[in-house]
Structures are given as structure tokens and as C-alpha cells.
Structure 1
Amino acid sequence: MDFEKTVARTTLVEGGKIVVEVGGHSILLCRLQGEVLAVQNRCTHAGSRLESGLVEEGSIRCPLHGVRFDLRSGKCLNVRLGCAPLRCFTTRETGEYIEVEVEVEVAERQP
């Protein structure tokens, strides 16, 4: 695992969200109560992109069917649907940037 630089800290305002591509993943960054949270940008219920969903009370609502996911844990908050949780990513703010921790793929060596 390694941290990858994404966007300037000032790009993500309180209550805001932005999509970044890191390590082949589309990741939704949200700033809530000063904390930067990162989840996969794809609903596990219907596969739609979450970036245009409504952020409310620490959750993101899928714009397609309204499924809600907790932004801190990724947990689906619509118990009756039994959706898989969103993948969450660790973030940190260093210097002027937001960084996201992702798996680094090591290329196989050719003989």
C-alpha cells in the first residue's frame, strides 16, 4: 500500500465532494467536519456513479435508486436491500495535497 497525491487541499471544501482517479480506481472524496473521507465512486446496488449523489448526515445517496451509504464505514444504510458495503480508502493531508492510500501493483519481471 502506498499514498498517492490527488488534489490540492483547498479544492475540497467543507461539505464538498470531488472524484479522483488513483491506481485505477474512481474514488469519491468528501470533506465532512474537516475530515477527508474516500469511498469507491460506484454504488454496489446498481453500479451507478455516486459523484452526483446527495451527501447528507455523513452518508451519500445514490442518484439512481436512493440507496444510502455511510461515508466513514462504507456500510449500506438501507438494511432491506442488503447491499455490499462501499470500499473505503485511507486519506491524509500532507503539505498542500490530499493523498489516498491504494495498492501499488508491482509489474512482473520478464525473464
Structure 2
Amino acid sequence: MDFEKTVARSALPEGGKVVVEVRGHSILLCRLQGQVLAVQNRCTHAGSRLDSGLIAEGSIRCPLHGVRFDLHTGQCLNVRLGCAPLKCFATRETGDHIEVEVIEH
């Protein structure tokens, strides 16, 4: 596995979110119930940034049209829209930093 160091652990408190750039990808990191989750920072419905969206009940709401995505799986929770899921990234905490795995295809 090839993980990239991103931000200090202290930069992502419980319930917080932060955007990082890894290998040309804009990635949204969120800490929920002690777990660091990472998804692409672009809504698959309209392409807007998600980092200003509201996080609630394990999902993030796109600030543009309100589309909700599960932060654990990336799945769109607005079934009738049929949006593609968000890309999810593996994370790990090592030492004082959060690392993200980006696999290039």
C-alpha cells in the first residue's frame, strides 16, 4: 500500500472536516466517531465542492443541490437521482499525521 502523509491529526477534530490535495486529487477528510473517512471533494451530481456541506448522521450534504452521500461508502442517498457514488480513499493515522492512500488506475 502506498499512503501519502497529509495533515496533522490535531487538524481534524471529532466532527471536523478538512480538504487535502494528494496526487492531484482534492480529498475531503472527516472524523466521525473517532474514525477518519476520506472521499472525493466533488459532488457527482453537479461537480460542486463538498467541503462546505453539512455533515449529519454519517453523510454529507452537497451545498449546491442538497444531494446526500454516505461518508463510509460514498453511496448517494438520494436514490431517485441515481448519482454515481463518491470515490472513497483508505486512511490511517501514523504518529502525529493522517495518511491517505490514492491508487492510480
TM over 0.5: yes
Is the CA contact 1:37–1:72 (under 8 Å) kept in the aligned structure 2? yes
The alpha carbon displacement at 1:104 in A equals 5.7
Match in the other structure for 1:109: none
**Identical aligned residues as a percent:** 82
Who is 2:99 aligned against?
99
> Letter of the aligned partner of 2:93 in structure 1?
E
Q: Secondary structure at the match of 1:30?
A: strand
Unaligned 5+ segments in structure 2 are none
Consecutive unaligned residues in structure 1, runs of 5 or more: 106-111
Q: What secondary structure sits across from 1:83 in the alignment? A: coil
Q: Summarize the Cα distance change of 1:64–1:12 in structure 2 as closer, same or farther, 3 Å threshold.
A: same
Partner of 1:70: 70
Greater Rg by CA: 1
> Deviations 1:62-90 (Å, cap 9, x if unpaired)?
00000000000000000000000000000
Equivalence for 1:50? 50
For these two proteins, the number of residue pairs brought into alignment is 105
* 1:1-80 mapped onto 2 (5 Å cutoff): 1-80=1-80
Distance 2:63 2:72 in 1: 19
Calculate the aligned-residue CA RMSD, in Å. Answer: 1.1
Conserved? CA contact 1:48–1:64, under 8 Å: yes
Mapped partners of 2:103, 2:34: distance in 1:
25
CA contact (8 A) 1:23 1:104 kept: no
The separation in 1 between residues aligned to 2:70 and 2:23, in whole angstroms, is 23
Q: SS state of the match for residue 80, structure 2?
A: helix
- Large movers: runs of 4+ above 6 Å: none
Deviations 1:18-44 (A, max 9, x none): 000001100000000000000000000
